[in-house]
Amino acid sequence: MFRHFENIVDPYTSYEENDTPPQRLWPFLWAYAQPFRKWFVVAALLSILVAAVEVGLIHYMGRVVDILSNGAPEQVWQQHRWELIGIAAFVLILRPVLQALDVLILNNGLMPNFGTLIRWRAHRHVLRQSVGWFENDFAGRIANRIMQTPPSANEAMFQVFDAITFSLAYLAGAAVLLAEADIRLVLPMLIWFVLYGALLHWTISRVGPASKAASDARSEVTGRVVDSYSNIHSVKMFAHHDRELDYAKEAIEETRRTFRKEMRIYSVMDIALTALNGWLIVGVVGWAVALWMQGMASVGVVAAATALTLRLNAMTGWIMWAVSSFFRNLGVVAEGMETIAQPISLVDPPAAPPLRLTDGRIVFENVSHHYGRGAGGIDRLSITIQPGEKVGLIGRSGAGKSTLVKLLLRFYDVEAGRILIDGQDIRSVSQESLRRNIGMVQQDTALLHRSIRENILYGRPEANDAEMIAAADRAAATTFIRDLSDQEGNTGYAARVGERGVKLSGGQRQRIALARAILKDAPILVLDEATSALDSEIEAAIQDTLYGVMEGKTVIAIAHRLSTIARMDRILVLDEGHVVEEGSHAELLALGGLYARFWERQSGGFIGMDPGSQAAE
């Protein structure tokens, strides 16, 4: 039974991705709600029916009082037994069935699936954002918004059908019931309702902004705390324990301040509500008693009016909390939208074809990129890299080397010019096909918090274990992998490496990344300080492997250790976003320019390497 209702909507159903989601709250929620719309109607109708039954039962209890007041027990039973039996059967059988349908659709059909759909689609949307987008925010804050928005949207939806729809139907039914007894009984209820609506409006107008401010503050705390945890090595190394506590405390205190402000609103609401409900009870019940004393209402009417107002008195606090909770959760959703509704800025053109890589010829054609600052990065750069050519890039920090690589991978779009691979503008092909054809080993190697096996297979998931182990062996990683273990008792290739690979040394992480690139075997290879974390002995051991991996590929290698690129076909020296020198290692040494000065400072660039012999090559 549960499984049937749990499967009324598939939260992973296919949908058309939208690069520019709605920026306003209701259109945003309406777009996510598309697969649920017909079930929302069913849930609303059931909620109204349940409320109507509740009001009807109170009305009937008044009739029961009148029946019992107007005859002996035997006479009452003789005249009304089938009516009473029918009502009892309804209460025992039909009412629970109706209530069960309402609960099953809401609790089992909508609640688990609506939040899941939002979380799945939000995560999918965020993953499509560019690298630059992620670089501009806390990872912790992004994750927090992905996690807290779905339950808040879920809770808002729940309140609509569990409380708001029910209470509106209940109030309407109560007004009809009182009017049926005596139209004048509706007057105190209407006065109460106007005042109650004013209190509700006062509360809602303040709760929404207050809850959004509190949610923003919580996200800031999460971002700061996760930032400290992610960089715990730096925190400990610089002995900044107290500084990090102060950094977190500032955000935690702001969270307390915003939450305190939010709670003040609820305190005012509760106090005012108690006073209002006193008016409701005295007004309706007192008037009903006055009508009875004048012979204008039966005891049943007084009983029904009393039961109704006491029920409303009990419900009003719940309704107020439900409605304020509804708007409070909408405030959290609105805060989450600041992340999950941001447009995708770096997109593929419609029906973008895959990259057709035939030779591996790369052309940077008058390319400029300054990260929107008008300076820095690279400026009007033109480079042609022939198929199979190995090109080294060197230069001071900030010269534009890494920018060039990020543009080639289309982590950013060029601000001017274009980049061609085998004659195709990389902006005209799909990003996935572009990156599938480029292997990369970075200086800052961050591994996934998964096993060694999973990290290496990330390069080519369909590879078998033998291919994966062979790649690790070529990267000189086999020996240390055999000795690895984790807290769960996994060893070797099954051992987990910790968040961002923190359980491994920098050199070990770099060798795992190199194994991943070897396994991927892409026709274009980018090495961004690929051996910077290796000691000289290990680097020397895998130099031949590196050059073997480069064979038959177009290679771009960034290095500060000049020994790693001395054997490249061509070396480009970048300075302030321009190519200032170009040639082979020997040619650049003979030129006596910037490269020669770099080489001289490094005393030959590598232990055991004779700069004179290199110059003679």
CA atoms within 13 A on the CB side of 387: 7
Could you tell me which residues are beta bridge partners of residue 583? 571
Residues of the chain with pLDDT > 90: what percent? Answer: 21
Q: Is residue 511 part of a domain?
A: no
- Name the band, by pLDDT with cuts 50, 70 and 90, for residue 540: low
Write phi, then psi, for 580 (nearest 5 degrees): -105, -20
Give yes or no: residues 186 and 63 share one domain. yes
pLDDT at 65 over 80: no
Identify the H or E element spanning 421: strand 416-421
Give yes or no: residues 299 and 333 share one domain. yes
Work out whether the CA dihedral 404, 409, 415, 419 comes out positive or negative.
positive
Q: Is residue 23 part of a domain?
A: yes
**Is-contact 573 580, C-beta < 8 A?**
yes
Q: Is residue 492 part of a domain?
A: no
Give yes or no: residues 195 and 111 share one domain. yes
Its domain, for residue 143, covers: 2-340
Instruction: Give the tokens for residue 41.
Output: 């109607």
Q: Is residue 529 part of a domain?
A: no
Beta strand 378-385 with 362-369 is antiparallel
**Is-contact 326 159, C-beta < 8 A?**
yes
Residue 306 and residue 296: Cα distance in Å, rounded?
16
Q: Is residue 610 part of a domain?
A: yes
Identify the H or E element spanning 327: helix 299-340
3-state secondary structure of 464: coil
Give yes or no: residues 328 and 399 share one domain. no
Instruction: Give the tokens for residue 498.
Output: 């910790």
Instruction: Give the tokens for residue 194.
Output: 């106007």
Boundary of a domain, candidates 306, 340, 374: 340
- Name the band, by pLDDT with cuts 50, 70 and 90, for residue 608: very low
Boundary of a domain, candidates 340, 373, 398: 340
Q: Alpha carbon of 34 to those of 16, 27, 39, 109, 474: distances in Å?
A: 12, 11, 10, 15, 51
Lowest mean pLDDT among 70-79, 397-406, 443-452: 70-79
Give yes or no: residues 180 and 321 share one domain. yes
Q: The domain spanning residue 198 has which CATH number?
A: 1.20.1560.10
**pLDDT for 611:** 40
Instruction: List, in order, residues 6 or more apart from 71 with CB less than 8 Å away.
Output: 79
Which tens digits make up the pLDDT trace of 466-476?
999 999 998 88
Boundary of a domain, candidates 299, 315, 340: 340
Which tens digits make up the pLDDT trace of 241-269?
888 899 899 999 999 999 898 888 888 88
Give yes or no: residues 52 and 88 share one domain. yes
Residue 190 and residue 31: Cα distance in Å, rounded?
37
pLDDT at 356 over 70: yes
- Name the band, by pLDDT with cuts 50, 70 and 90, for residue 530: low
The number of distinct structural domains making up the chain is: 2
Give me the long-range contacts of 229-236 (CB less than 8 A, separation at least 24): 230/139, 230/140, 230/499, 230/500, 233/502
**pLDDT for 68:** 76
Give yes or no: residues 181 and 239 share one domain. yes
Helical axes 299-340 vs 165-181, angle rounded to 10°: 160
Instruction: Give the tokens for residue 591.
Output: 């030129």
Q: Is residue 531 part of a domain?
A: no
Q: Is residue 445 part of a domain?
A: no
Q: The domain spanning residue 392 has which CATH number?
A: 3.40.50.300
pLDDT at 422 over 90: yes
Mean pLDDT value across residues 100-124 = 90
Give yes or no: residues 176 and 274 share one domain. yes
Chain center to CA of 51 = 37
Residue 402 and residue 440: Cα distance in Å, rounded?
12
Give yes or no: residues 198 and 263 share one domain. yes
Q: Is residue 512 part of a domain?
A: no
pLDDT at 316 over 80: no
